[in-house]
Amino acid sequence: MEEHNNNSGRPNGGGDDNKNPRNRQTILMFLILAMVGILFWNFLGNMGASNKEIPYNEFLEMLENGEVKSVDITSSQINIVSKEKDAMGREITYYTGLVPDYHLQERLEEADLEDYSAPVTDFRNVVLSAIVNFLLPILVLWGVFALIMRRMGGGGGMMGMNVGKSKAKVYIEKDTGVTFKDVAGEEEAKESLQEVVDFLHNPGKYAQIGAKLPKGALLVGPPGTGKTLLAKAVAGEAHVPFFSLSGSDFVEMFVGVGASRVRDLFQEAKKHSPCIIFIDEIDAIGKSRDSRLGGNDEREQTLNQLLAEMDGFDSHTACLILGATNRPEVLDPALLRPGRFDRRIIVDRPDLKGRVDILKVHSKNVKMDDTVDLEAIALATSGAVGSDLANMINEAAILAVKNGRVAVSQKDLFESVEVVLVGKEKKDRIMSKEERRIVSYHEVGHALVSALQKDAEPVQKITIVPRTMGALGYVMQVPEEEKYLNTKKEIDAMLVGLLAGRAAEELVFDTVTTGASNDIEKATRIARAMVTQYGMSEKFGLMGLEVRENEYLTGRTIMNCSDVTAAEVDQEVMRILKTSYEEAKRLLSENREAMDKIADYLIQKETITGKEFMRIFREVKGIPEPEEEKKAAEAGQQNETVRAEVKPQAENAGSGEAEKPEE
């Protein structure tokens, strides 16, 4: 992706290397250092020439006594070098003022001096002295100030005077290289933006009916969902100049610089109309103006200028402003009103179909074998955003190369999902035999309770191999279908499953460990949400006690009740967790034999699949195997038998000698 450059006809934007901002800064720094060196040398010279002032009559006495070695008469004083030397053997110098003395030359001749000079006016020395003592320090200070301004102003312009210029990168027509075909999983957002693109292409048909181009559209959503990618796709589809910059590009330490850059940006945009202005992370300058705790004058001036410029757009000027943020709650209400940002386009986490489409987009240039099922990967990555899915595809390709394969398999994709979610395997971490047993029973407790509950998600994989993100083991559960709502029974089952690991430790080892800290944290958060947000508590009923503060980033909530009610909420959360824990212990106690057998098998294998887990569970409980799985297992065994028979024949055929042709 190349930035627009007016010197595109020349290589590298022009053949003169001196026009490179980095070269200019190097030359400027060299000149400044040279000037400083001259000043320092002049200072040392003055220090060496510093001497003691004496009265004129004392100078005459020294002449009469023959104590003077040489005399230098300048236009302002008389410099005297004595024949005496100091303790270090250096010459002692004096100076005295000029006095109208017509007999001075005779006295100098009679004193038999080694050297003396009469006053001679040299204008070159006067000019040089003025340059060194006065002009040079001013130039040095000016150069240092210009270098500081240049670094803060982003280069270009004489002596940093471009500090108020806009830092927007300009992409012309298809320079972004992105279209709506490259964006998947956000069909509603694409549809809203396609209307804007059509308006830029065909403004006439909208003008006939009296419609006006929306002045602004605000892209809102969690990080990684593709807000910036959508903005680039709009530019790629519209074939108009695209001004791209971040909200932080307006922020400087100098007051008024941000407002100046806003003015310069909109002036340039009007020259290139129709065009698109994209401001990423607009909350950097668009925060609500609030003087209760002391405001930021520079940021507020920048915001005021932005509001004024958006109002000043002519209705016939086809300039669209796109903003992107994941903190819409902090934006100023004046910025969000119709007439400025007319549309709020939600770019949310993709659903199952959206994740499948995103995986297809990112995998179209990746070689994959026949085992790949992108829908299964999409089911296993509920809640993942576009950047996560792109990272998973890339990790799978890297794993395939690492394992010596020429195409990505389903195994690589599932392993990449684990790498992104819980980190890589830590093969160098060796746990003791007792710790392996504890971790094994902990994970089997989670899986077994999930299998025993009707409303729990099925188990895909169980492992006790440590991961780089801190997990000593984990259970991977994959839902059978995409869900947008959770019933109270499903949440209750989720709580029991989360606390089952700790329950298994207590039942088997009669003690507990620190391994359940993350489970307890998740369970507490879910139980609190049941009480304060979901209205699933018998004690508080439908009362909303918490407000979500930051929806798209941290998801933090703040209590909206008195301290007394908050204490009662804690008691209710404690009751829910205790009930879930007791239920987990009951289920595991009733199925202790199955837990022991599965845990022993997991200790031996370290990693088992959900099918292996269910096979052992059915054997212990005497449950017959489902017909579908039985047929699949028989088909798999037949395939293995065929492969085993074919492989030796192929090896024998390959190892035999070739028949010699007849002579």
User: 322 with 288: CB under 8 angstroms?
Assistant: no
Q: Which of 300, 395, 443, 572 is catalytic?
A: 443
The two structure tokens encoding residue 253: 């330490």
Which of 326, 317, 337, 350 lies closest to 190, judged by CA?
A: 350
Give whole-number Cα distances, 57 to 62, 191, 293, in Å: 9, 100, 72
Please name the amino acid found at residue 622: G
User: 627 with 635: CB under 8 angstroms?
Assistant: no
* Residues whose CB falls within 8 Å of the CB of residue 294, separated by 6 or more in sequence, listed in order: none
The two structure tokens encoding residue 465: 């191999």
The two structure tokens encoding residue 302: 């920048």
The two structure tokens encoding residue 181: 């075909």
Neighbour count for residue 491 (Cβ, 10 Å): 19
The residue whose two tokens read 């499903």 is 490
Please give, one letter per residue, the 3-state secondary structure of 409-460: CHHHHHHHHHHHHHCCECCCCCCCHHHHHHHHHHHHHHHHHHHHCCCCCCEE
What is the enclosing helix (H) or strand (E) of 644? helix 627-655
Is 443 a catalytic site residue?
Answer: yes
DSSP state of 179: -
Residue ranges of alpha helices (H) inside 453-562 are 488-509, 517-532
Q: What is the DSSP string of 23-65?
A: HHHHHHHHHHHHHHHHHHHHHHHHHHH--EE--HHHHHHHHHT
Taking the C-alpha atoms of residue 474 and residue 476, their distance in angstroms, rounded to an integer, is 6
Please name the amino acid found at residue 515: G
User: 513 with 594: CB under 8 angstroms?
Assistant: no
Which of 309, 294, 291, 297 lies closest to 253, judged by CA?
A: 297
Cβ burial 416-429 (10 Å sphere, 16+ → b, else e): bbbbbbbeebeeee
Which of 429, 425, 354 lies closest to 607, judged by CA?
A: 425
Taking the C-alpha atoms of residue 183 and residue 188, their distance in angstroms, rounded to an integer, is 12
By annotation, the residues acting in catalysis are: 443
